[in-house]
A and B are shown apart, each in its own frame.
Chain A
Amino acid sequence: MSTTTARPRATRAEPGPVRSTIGPLARLEIVRLARHPVLVGGALFGLVSVVASYEEIQDDATGDLQGLPVTALTVGLPAMVAAHLLARSFDRTDELVESAPTSRVSRTGSQCLSAVVPAALAVVWLVLFAVAQRWLWTTPEWMYGTLSHADLWAVVIGNTVLAAVGGTLLGVAAGRWWHFRGSSIALLLTVAVWTLTVMSVFSPVGTPEAWYRWVRLFTPVGGFNNPAPDGNGSDTLTGSPWWYLAWLVTLCALAAIAALLKGSEGTSRRRLVRLGAAALAASVLTYGLAAAGGNSQVVRTFPDGHSVVLTP
């Protein structure tokens, strides 16, 4: 006895009226990034680290602002690596996706939009930080030195949400332009070396004043507040936290534009080049204002409330 299986007919189907694919594509990219083991692993590591060292943090009055870059480390960096890997994941399928009507710019744009995932994780982190600071920790006022509450928000947002978004965008940009084996490691090392070099070389002690003021903020994760080396006081560093935040925004824009430029052509390329030039100009301007504005000198604030100006 023989059996036959009914085969679906190859009738012509239409995708319907042409609409932008960025929305549906971004939804797919968001799910891919949210499920990426590097990002999930990084976020879980951050959570476990904080829970495990909770008592230590609670006892250390200087720990809160210092602890903020942990978001950049456990969300921003993993998001950067995950976004880079996802941006490169279609490298071997490039010829096929190229033959589809959705442009490379739209594909890259939807990958950039997946930055909402690490941004949401950073917001959760931010909320937890605010809750902990309001009800769990007892941070003395002097710990924030001469920083205003508004300045504190700029520092907090920069080290959490913008670090997460910027990491993702940088990952996508590098994924579009770097196509060599081990590029994710190279990216990670580049960012780590960049940040750690600036942070360690340009310290308030032993660095010429001009160098310190103009170069110390040239890092994607910047601080404006340090505990005094003996723990007896807090140093407020030079620069303007809000302009620094604005500079970080321009860096995010530059990363997104760099990612979108790859494979763009015609009008969209010309538009992107113009936008890139504007973002670069804004970046130079905001960096200058971040370095020149705000505190002009390092100020140490002691627990009794009095302050002294330090060099440089």
Chain B
Amino acid sequence: MTTTASLDAVSKHYRSVAALDRVDLALSPGITGLLGPNGAGKTTMLRVMATVLRPDAGSVRLLGRDPTDPEARTEIRRRLGYQPQELGFPRGFSAFAFVNYMAVLKEWTDRDARTAEVRRALELVGLGDVATKRISRLSGGQRRRVALAQALLGTPELLVLDEPTTGLDPEQRASLRGVLADIAASSTMVISTHQTEDVAALCNRVVVLDAGRVHFDGTVPELVSLAAGKVWMAHDPDPSALASWRTASGRHRNVGEHVPTGAKLVEPSLEDAYLLLRGARDEASHDRHTTEVAS
């Protein structure tokens, strides 16, 4: 399969903190979900892929081009859609006016074509009815969709979305999944999210980042399979489990390595697998720390 974006030993430091630490990644058409705790380096990775941040070391190729070359970078940006995590909109803009402004920046110079494309993008994210409303009067979820609408202009070949579903209600999220799945049929899409259910529903590939390093890279079923035989339901919480919570049925769902005898195993979810992966890493780092202190 063609590689549309690749990161080769990419590092990025903020002072002494490694946001990305020799990351290798190759992305192909389809949707890749980025999971990881806060501060794992997800946003930094997306910013590098959106050509707005230069790594300290390593090489990046996007859509077959080197983004350090100004002309190649412009060419990449012509085929790129980016939704940042935080977006402060300029004052006084309506949803239409803002997306229209962005469309001009994306070289939609023909007025009629631009207007049609802006309307289409706003319709795609379900904002057709409030297009003329000032952004300052829109809800948080609607504002995120305005940000998403500009990213979808022209249906880019590389789409970089930082937490696109945050603040959306379940209907909006379901609708958005449909839109993104349509686009992914012909694009490479990277989505950073804390919502494991979005990754499970949308992504054909999942990458788990932690402390700037890739800790898992595979398909969703592969990640889920890591938790096979490690999730069980019990009347009581298991203190040795990595995670345990009381479900609506009154029983406790336990996730951990050590399954008690006679426990009723259940089908793991992506969230269970993610928790296990995180827990294993935390334990490993704790053991390493203990060994270092002891020595």
Listed in ascending order, the chain A residues whose CB lies under 8 Å from chain B are 7-16, 18-21, 23-25, 28, 32, 89-93, 95-103, 107, 265-266
Contact = CB atoms under 8 A, between A and B. Distances in A.
Contacts of A25: 104-105
Contacts of B52: 95, 98-99
Contacts, number: 110
B105 A101 contact: yes
B50 A10 contact: no
B90 A15 contact: no
Contacts of B109: 15-16, 19-21, 23-24
Contacts of B89: 92-93
Contacts of A12: 154-155, 186
A7 B179 contact: yes
Between A24, A99, A102, A265, the greatest number of chain B beta carbons within 10 A of the residue's beta carbon is seen for A99
A28 to B, nearest CB: 6
A96 B113 contact: no
Nearest to B109: A19
Q: How large is the interface on B (under 10, 10 to 19, 20 to 34, 35 or more residues)?
A: 35 or more
A102 B48 CA distance: 18
A92 B88 contact: yes
Interface string B117-129: 1001001100000
A21 B100 CA distance: 13
B152 interface: yes
Contact of A99 (B80, B114, B178): B80
B102 A101 contact: no
Nearest to A88: B90
B170 interface: no
Contacts of B111: 24
B51 interface: yes
A265 B70 contact: yes
Interface of B: 47, 50-52, 70, 74-75, 77-78, 80, 82, 84, 87-92, 100-111, 113-114, 117, 120, 123-124, 147, 150, 152-155, 175, 178-179, 182-183, 186
A96 B120 CA distance: 20
Given A21-B104, A28-B104, A8 B124 contact: yes
Contacts of A107: 105
A280 B203 CA distance: 57
Contact of B105 (A8, A18, A97): A97
A93 B182 contact: no
A13 B155 contact: yes
Nearest to B73: A101
Given A21-B109, A89-B91, A96-B102, A13 B120 contact: yes
Contacts of B183: 10
B87 A16 contact: no
Contacts of A9: 182
A102 B103 CA distance: 10
A21 B105 contact: yes
A93 B88 contact: yes
A11 to B, nearest CB: 7
B119 to A, nearest CB: 9
B86 to A, nearest CB: 8
Given A12-B186, A93-B90, A21 B107 contact: yes
Contacts of A103: 74
A102 B107 contact: yes
